[in-house]
Structure 1
Amino acid sequence: MTASVLSRAGADLSTARESLARAAQRVEDLLGALPVPGLRSLEQRDRAAAAHNEVRAHRVDFMATHATEVYDELTGGRTRDLRLDELVEAAAGAFPGLVPTAGQLAVERSRAQADKEGREIDQGIFLRGVLRCDLAGPHLLTAMLRPTTRALLLLPDFQRTGLIEMEAVRLERRDGVARLTMCRQDCLNAEDERQVDDMETAVDLALLDPAVRVGLIRGGEMTHPRYQGRRVFSAGINLKKLSAGEIPLVGFLLRRELGYLHKIRRGLCPREPEQWHAPYLDKPWVGAIDTFAIGGGTQLALLFDHVIAASDAYFSLPAAREGIIPGVANLRFTRIAGARLSRQVILQGRRILATDPEAHLLVDEVVEPAAMDDAVERALTRLDGAAVVANRRMVNFAEESLADFRAYVGEFTVQQALRIYGEDVIDKVDRFSGRSE
């Protein structure tokens, strides 16, 4: 690109940046004259919605035209790896009105979901623009596949002791196996930001430690009266936290998909020169499903190389009931189980019992609960081999290309942001959490 073209592009971006800032400020002035969202009249809600729609269309056009320039400015020409939270924070400072500021997000975070302005939708618009870009999108996905700082700090202790105990996850290395036990007894392993952070840390450690050859993910024993002493895999998203406004788009919904779930699928992307032969540091994973895998639990099960389910377990993706999108499951479940069954499960809320004939599409083995431990150990032994790793890499390459994943999550960023602020979702999660009682 010639110097004159570069200069013109920079001038165009500068003009567009100023125009967007002015448009966003006009909306802020209007919103500032209105009550908080939960106290607005119908007419005031309509005015706010119209203003948001107008400036959001502006943001969409801005990113469609300038995504590469914006991303390159934020990342030094793609020389710096910024994770999702770092990227939106940088964008808030460099491009006023493009995404919410830290102060605006702090106000949103202090409110219940029903009382928020919905500013995370603007983050979704920005990130969709980035992910759709053929230069910026792959770079962001790679940044999210780097090991986290927390994991790198914990790695020496884990290599020395073979044990890391976090609030939501216990990680133990034994006989070459990284055993990740989800242990949120207070909520049946329902996911929130704490769970996502601990899971990504544990997955990173398992992939970084050369003494680990295979990973295992299983739910721990519960103290809940109904499930006392029983293992539970996952109750899905924590609806009480969602109702309270404590399930953020970037910190939970997107970090989860582009972070530890994607790392289980594709592996870490380290910077070490010895990784020249393979861009990803990946290992096989076994999943042991006890009692149930609801929502995010089923999403996780779709990633494993071998799934063992207790005969009394079940799988579900209650997206229609909750009103949100079940992560990347719409892509993966449809590919694995087919269009008809995916519509029954995702759109109509059908449960799949481990003993149902269709369960073979999701599960490799179904055993009696008392036989789970032995079945798990046999599966771990079968997946322990260098050829397994190489073939797994090629199977995953054929099954889900990075381009397909990027296209899906790009659209997911906006559609999920819109869903978590939908009136139907807020009404449902309030009832599920008991807030409306």
Structure 2
Amino acid sequence: MSIDFKIINQYIAHITINRPDRLNALDLEHDRSLAAAWKRFNEDPELKVAVLAGSGERAFCTGADILDYIPHRRRIAESQVDNATISFGGMTADREILKPTIAAIHGFCVAGGLELALACDIRIAARDARFALPEVRWGILPGGGGTQRLGKIVGLGVAMRMILTGDEISADFALNCGLVTQLVERHELETTALSIAERIVKNGPLAVAAARQALLASFEFPIEQGLAKEAELQRELLLTEDAAEGVAAFAARRQPEYKGR
């Protein structure tokens, strides 16, 4: 049992939470291992996209292992540290992961597991997927970004209902409210996620990074600031070799050969 890190087609990191006997819940050890995997992904210039998955047939991830992780968080709370923001799995704090991420979800995707998925850029799911943020039933709140990300993705009303009731929603409902962008059969989940990753890899890496940054900014700033950020990033891109290559390849009707500069 571990956090498995596999490189596919040179540019894609496939990260799997491999703890199926615990429905891929993260204890403290696996939480730190997942954070280390994301650090490796961030620091490897060859890796362009990551896919996050869960092993076994029953779950993507069911969040924190309550008997191990929650006491750890309680000890931190008792220390009265001024900055109480804690990243779950090395990915739920602000802007920790610097490149595109795809969550390939099946089975239970609940509590911190849903918060991991919310921290990804793209979420696709098998039809057996089930989603919930049930933390209020345990006397706590979704503290891995759930209260901050869910409403921006599905809207305030759906987020309020999910978080305040702790109720589970189906894969079909998740698709209808925009929580996931695609539903596939379970046996198609892996190939679909990798297909999306491969399409991203083919694009200009500087453009992908800038477009991702601009889109995230649109959720953080008023439109005037967001448009200014978009214009700044566009100016920077227009001066790159990749931008010139993209235009040249389009004119010559060939595939571009991007260098990331």
Superposition TM-score, scaled by structure 1 size: 0.45
The alignment partner of 1:233 has SS state of strand
Paired AA for residue 181 in structure 2: D
Residue number in structure 2 paired with 1:284: 100
Contact 1:170 1:182 in 2 (8 A): yes
1:190 to 17, 22, 25: 25
- Structure number with the higher strand fraction is 2
Residue number in structure 2 paired with 1:345: 162
The alignment partner of 1:334 has SS state of helix
1:394 to 204, 214, 220: 214
> Could you say if the C-alpha distance between residues 357 and 187 of structure 1 is closer, same or farther in structure 2, counting changes exceeding 3 Å?
closer
Q: Distance in 2 between matches of 1:249 and 1:366?
A: 40
Q: Distance in 2 between matches of 1:343 and 1:177?
A: 35
Residue number in structure 1 paired with 2:67: 240
Q: Does 1:216 align with 2:51?
A: yes
CA apart distance, 1:191: 2.0
**Aligned pairs for 1:46-57 within 5 A:** none
Contact 2:125 2:182 in 1 (8 A): yes
Residue number in structure 2 paired with 1:181: 16
Q: Distance in 2 between matches of 1:255 and 1:204?
A: 16
Q: Distance in 2 between matches of 1:256 and 1:337?
A: 22
Unaligned runs of 5+ in 1: 1-166, 222-229, 269-281, 402-437
Superposition TM-score, scaled by structure 2 size: 0.73
CA apart distance, 1:383: 2.1
CA apart distance, 1:261: 2.2
**Aligned pairs for 1:252-291 within 5 A:** 254-257=85-88, 259-262=90-93, 266-267=95-96, 282-291=98-107
> Could you say if the C-alpha distance between residues 178 and 358 of structure 1 is closer, same or farther in structure 2, counting changes exceeding 3 Å?
closer
Residue number in structure 1 paired with 2:186: 369
Paired AA for residue 234 in structure 1: C
Q: Which string of whole-angstrom CA distances, capped at 9 and with x for unpartnered residues, describes residues 270-326 of structure 1?
A: xxxxxxxxxxxx110010001110101111111222111000111100022121110
Q: Does 1:312 align with 2:94?
A: no
Paired AA for residue 179 in structure 2: L
CA apart distance, 1:250: 3.9
2:5 to 154, 158, 171: 171
Q: Which string of whole-angstrom CA distances, capped at 9 and with x for unpartnered residues, describes residues 155-189 of structure 1?
A: xxxxxxxxxxxx53011112111111001133111
CA apart distance, 1:254: 4.1
Q: Distance in 1 between matches of 2:161 and 2:60?
A: 22
Q: Distance in 2 between matches of 1:293 and 1:357?
A: 11
> Could you say if the C-alpha distance between residues 194 and 242 of structure 1 is closer, same or farther in structure 2, counting changes exceeding 3 Å?
closer
CA apart distance, 1:257: 4.8
> Could you say if the C-alpha distance between residues 352 and 249 of structure 1 is closer, same or farther in structure 2, counting changes exceeding 3 Å?
farther
> Could you say if the C-alpha distance between residues 357 and 319 of structure 1 is closer, same or farther in structure 2, counting changes exceeding 3 Å?
closer
Q: Distance in 2 between matches of 1:337 and 1:186?
A: 31
Residue number in structure 2 paired with 1:115: none
Q: Distance in 1 between matches of 2:157 and 2:92?
A: 25
Q: Which string of whole-angstrom CA distances, capped at 9 and with x for unpartnered residues, describes residues 210-236 of structure 1?
A: 110101100012xxxxxxxx1521112
The alignment partner of 1:182 has SS state of strand
> Could you say if the C-alpha distance between residues 289 and 249 of structure 1 is closer, same or farther in structure 2, counting changes exceeding 3 Å?
farther
Q: Does 1:323 align with 2:139?
A: yes
> Could you say if the C-alpha distance between residues 246 and 362 of structure 1 is closer, same or farther in structure 2, counting changes exceeding 3 Å?
same
Residue number in structure 2 paired with 1:204: 39
Paired AA for residue 118 in structure 2: L
Paired AA for residue 199 in structure 1: L
Paired AA for residue 399 in structure 1: F
Task: Give the greater-gyration-radius structure (CA).
Answer: 1
Q: Distance in 1 between matches of 2:209 and 2:75?
A: 33
Residue number in structure 2 paired with 1:302: 118
Aligned residues with identical type, % of pairs: 29
Contact 2:20 2:59 in 1 (8 A): no
Contact 2:28 2:69 in 1 (8 A): no
The alignment partner of 2:125 has SS state of strand
The alignment partner of 2:20 has SS state of coil
Q: Distance in 2 between matches of 1:288 and 1:357?
A: 14
Q: Distance in 1 between matches of 2:177 and 2:200?
A: 19
CA apart distance, 1:344: 0.9
